[in-house]
Amino acid sequence: MKNPLDSLPATVVCGLALTLALYLVVRYAIGS
């Protein structure tokens, strides 16, 4: 499997997805 960090667009998508995941954890699971 290709490393997504080798591709700039894939890295950006990973960063955005990680942001969304962490936001949802704070918003709905643990609170701010």
Partner 1 sequence: MEAIPPLARWFHFMAGIMWVGLLYYFNFVHVAALKSAAADASAAGINRHVTPRALAWFRWASVATWLTGAALLGGNFAAAFALQPGHRAIGIGAWLGTILLINVWALLWPAQKIALGLVEASEAQRIAARRRAFLVSRLNLALSFPLLFFMGAAGHASAYF
Taking CB under 8 A as the criterion, the residue among 1, 2, 9, 32 binding partner 1 is 32
- Residue the block writes with tokens 């667009």: 9
| CA distances (Å), origin 27, targets 12, 15, 18, 31 | 22, 18, 14, 5
Query: Dihedrals φ, ψ of 2, to 5°?
Result: -75, 140
Report if residue 24 touches partner 1, rule: CB under 8 A: no
**Least distance (Å) from partner 1 to the CB of residue 7?**
9
Enumerate binding residues for partner 1 (CB under 8 A).
3, 5-6, 8, 11-12, 14-16, 18-19, 22-23, 26-27, 30-32
